[in-house]
Amino acid sequence: MRTQVGIIGAGPAGLLLSHLLHLRGISSVVLERRSRAYVEQRVRAGVLEQGTVDTLVAAGVGARLLREGMPHGGVEIRYGGAAHRLDFADLLPGRRVTVYGQQEIVKDLIAARLAAGGDLRFEVEDVAVHGLEDRPYLTFGGRRLDCEVIAGCDGFHGVSRPSIPAGVLTVFERDYPFAWLGVLAEVAPSAEELVYGLSERGFALHSMRTPALSRFYLQVAAGDRIEDWPDERVWKELRLRLETVPGFTLRTGPVIEKIVTSLRSFVAEPMQYGRLYLAGDAAHIVPPTGAKGLNLAVADVRVLTEALARFFGTGSAELLDGYSAACLERVWRAQHFSWWMTTLTHELDTDGAYERRLRRAELDYVTSSRAGATVLAENYVG
């Protein structure tokens, strides 16, 4: 088999890259070890920056997003018994975020690629990377795929990054001393926008997926298991952390999914080696507090698409050679924002009275100063 770009991973990064390359007349084959049903049903982040929405719409895969997505013109931060809304429309006219589930983006991209005759291969076994310094190729299930470029879009635990020789990458990472309990419930959202709830009990986030599905997150101990959080305890804790302002009542309903996720910051530099280019979680991870993960993956793919279009169109490798440097500037900006949002909104076991007062002073600045609010809003919407 032969193609121009071999893509490992059929998540949003790999699928979007394949589609954007198709629009430029560049062939690709996407290899995914999971089933199509699995990747289409896997619930992940759903807060899209304005630039991500614009990219999907321009690529012709945004019709359902525009129809069913939930635009948000701001977010609310609750602490100290009061609610503080950051108005994006006022602070950054024309820019907002849109809530639309990652699994819905995956469905839209798969449908678009198959309709265009794209080569998507699911449940592929034993993918391996070869010949990165000379003639790259992939092997899988006893077959060989020759290609001119390999795109590693297979996430943190994929095979792409470990295929880079030892000593090439510099890794920066941080593990956080708590986890998130994610809850998907069959109940209409209790608020029109995302609500960040801060209290001495810990962090809570009220989000949504559709007008009939709500998504919640609770800060929990790093060693907690799903079994430690029966539905009754989940709803009790959400009320204690979110019903902190007058007039707000949390709606409850059947819980249809629970998952405990550790929080990590991770960057591998450079994001390329030979003819292998990493994108998305294969190269970097951010804590979900700032909703940057999916958006960073889309940003990587935009840069990589332009570089590949130049390479295959003119033979120039200039943009490909600069791919990592071009991406990492935004990656580190998002890393800082995600770290800052996490430390600003979460209780740490090591916090004393001094640390809590520092956090309160910064929250007061962000919610009362237009300059402070604009910094948060600008980073949040991208």
HSE-CB of 360 using CA atoms within 13 angstroms: 13
Q: Which of 72, 84, 107, 346 is catalytic?
A: 72
Q: Which of 189, 292, 323, 346 is catalytic?
A: 292
Q: Mark whether 100 is an active-site residue.
A: no
Nearest of 15, 308, 3 to residue 145 by alpha carbon: 3
Q: Is-contact 93 87, C-beta < 8 A? A: no
Query: What phi and psi, each to the nearest 5 degrees, are found at residue 113?
Result: -65, -40
Q: Mark whether 246 is an active-site residue.
A: no
Tell me if residue 221 falls in helix, strand or coil. strand
Q: Which of 12, 136, 287, 288 is catalytic?
A: 288
Q: Is-contact 336 189, C-beta < 8 A? A: no
Q: Is-contact 41 183, C-beta < 8 A? A: no
Q: Which of 79, 137, 176, 380 is catalytic?
A: 380
Q: Is-contact 226 259, C-beta < 8 A? A: yes
182 Cβ partners below 8 Å, 6+ apart? Answer: 215, 216, 217, 257, 258, 259, 260, 261
Look up tokens 């280019």; give the residue: 277
Alpha helices, H only, 253-369: 293-314, 318-321, 323-345, 353-368
Q: Mark whether 196 is an active-site residue.
A: yes
Q: Where are the beta strands (DSSP E) in 19-136?
A: 28-31, 47-48, 70-72, 74-79, 82-87, 97-99, 119-121, 128-130
Q: Mark whether 292 is an active-site residue.
A: yes
Q: Which of 196, 217, 273, 277 is catalytic?
A: 196
Distance CA 368, CA 365 (A): 5
Nearest of 85, 92, 52, 50 to residue 71 by alpha carbon: 50
Report, as residue numbers or ranges, the catalytic residues.
72, 196, 288, 292, 380
